[in-house]
Structure 1
Amino acid sequence: MLRVGVLVSGGGTNLQAILDAMDQGKITNAEVAAVISNNPGAYALERARNHGIPAECISPKDFPDRASFNEALVAKVDSYDLDLVVLAGFLVKIPEAMIAKYRNKIINIHPSLIPSFCGVGYYGLKVHEAALARGVKLTGATVHFVDEGMDSGPILLQKAVEVKPGDTPELLQRRVMEEAEWVILPRAIDMIANGQI
């Protein structure tokens, strides 16, 4: 049984997609063992608790410096004996020590077709604003392994989503979540849990 930890910063819609996929049998041989957030107000923590999953907050604001926070984050992740760490809207740079320790065991979902609209500064609505400003006709989402760079690790899965006339960043964000993110993130976890990646 693959022990999965999900790191979140906000509402937890991708976490919900993972939990729903597990409940529906679309993810097998895996369980969410912990949900960790950097934001005490993240609704994702509530989603986890409602599902009977340990949910904890480790905020950088509670530490004197980034090094202390990084150390505490790695220790917390270690404490759950995880096989896979899933970044599902986690807006904190992963410490290099954690990347080294969990090499090819950390995956991230990014709301574009990497290498487009990724890297430093591209997160949340900013990605969709950039896609619309550029005039692309296709966007989508990417699941990739996390390495020391920003959105630069090996790509596991991608799914394209059509950009429609009249799209706003909010409309496009919602369509990318529904048609791509909530589909390929659970699929990637299932593939890893069943030895296909």
Structure 2
Amino acid sequence: MKKIAIFASGNGSNAENIIQYFKNSNQGTVVAVFSNNSNAKVVEKAKNHQIPVVVFPKSELNAGFVLHELHRFQPDLIVLAGFLLKFPEFILKEYPKVINIHPALLPKYGGKGMYGNHVHQAVLENKEKETGITIHYVNEHYDEGEFIFQKAVNIEDCKSPEEIAQKVHELEQRYFPEIIEKLIPNI
């Protein structure tokens, strides 16, 4: 069974969805949740599922602590699920199987500062007819890793970033765990 570590910074709805999806799986299991925010709801959600949580200050992501903790859990796959910090290259060298979900159809609306409602607001302001999700490998640049999966949704009826966010969130909840499961045999 493959071991999955999740990195998240906020609410944790995608992280919790992945934890639940793999609870009864014979392919993979979530072994830890890492967060740079001790007040993030993901911390409580992970603990409610008896998943070990590693909380670290932002400064420790680029120091040895996070890498040391990853060595402790030995994940086969690292999943960024609403993790807002740039993932360090030195960790990618030791753990090259890192994936991320982005709330837009990359390469549009990607890069530094493009997350959550910032993305949805930009999509709305540019009068896009569709948006969606992109699941991709993580490399040394924001949102530039090889694409694994994209799914679009029509947003012509959306009048606010929140309405767009709802449609994108539905895609995330449906497809993120499934795509992780499809990747597992190849890692």
The residue number in structure 1 matching 2:180 is: 189
Structure 2 residues not aligned, in runs of 5+: none
The residue number in structure 1 matching 2:113 is: 121
Structure 1 residue 21 and structure 2 residue 14: aligned? no
The residue number in structure 2 matching 1:73 is: 66
Taking the aligned partners of 1:72 and 1:174, their CA distance within structure 2 comes to: 35
What is the Cα deviation at residue 165 of structure 1?
2.6
Taking the aligned partners of 2:60 and 2:173, their CA distance within structure 1 comes to: 33
The 8 Å contact of residues 153 and 168 in structure 2, kept in 1 or not, is answered as yes
Taking the aligned partners of 2:179 and 2:63, their CA distance within structure 1 comes to: 26
Taking the aligned partners of 1:140 and 1:68, their CA distance within structure 2 comes to: 29
Structure 1 residue 84 and structure 2 residue 77: aligned? yes
The 8 Å contact of residues 28 and 194 in structure 1, kept in 2 or not, is answered as no
Structure 1 residue 145 and structure 2 residue 137: aligned? yes
The 8 Å contact of residues 62 and 88 in structure 2, kept in 1 or not, is answered as no
Q: Secondary structure at the match of 2:123?
A: helix
Taking the aligned partners of 2:33 and 2:139, their CA distance within structure 1 comes to: 21
Taking the aligned partners of 1:70 and 1:123, their CA distance within structure 2 comes to: 24
Taking the aligned partners of 1:166 and 1:32, their CA distance within structure 2 comes to: 35
The residue number in structure 2 matching 1:63 is: none
What is the Cα deviation at residue 106 of structure 1?
0.2
The 8 Å contact of residues 158 and 184 in structure 1, kept in 2 or not, is answered as no
The 8 Å contact of residues 142 and 159 in structure 1, kept in 2 or not, is answered as yes
Distance verdict in 2 for CA 1:20–1:164, change over 3 Å:
farther
Q: Normalized against structure 1, the TM-score is what?
A: 0.89
The residue number in structure 2 matching 1:54 is: 52
What is the Cα deviation at residue 17 of structure 1?
1.6
What is the Cα deviation at residue 138 of structure 1?
0.7
Superposed CA offset, 1:73-126 (max 9, x none) = 2222222111000000011111110112222x1000000011110011201100
Superposed CA offset, 1:53-87 (max 9, x none) = 10120112xxxxx4774322222222211100000
* Aligned partner of 1:30 among 20, 28, 32: 28
Taking the aligned partners of 1:127 and 1:58, their CA distance within structure 2 comes to: 26
Superposed CA offset, 1:137-175 (max 9, x none) = 010001000001110000001111111334311121121
* Aligned partner of 2:157 among 165, 174, 182: 165
What is the Cα deviation at residue 189 of structure 1?
1.1
Between the two proteins, the alignment pairs up a number of residues equal to: 187
Taking the aligned partners of 2:114 and 2:127, their CA distance within structure 1 comes to: 16
Q: Secondary structure at the match of 1:194?
A: helix
Q: CA RMSD in A?
A: 1.7
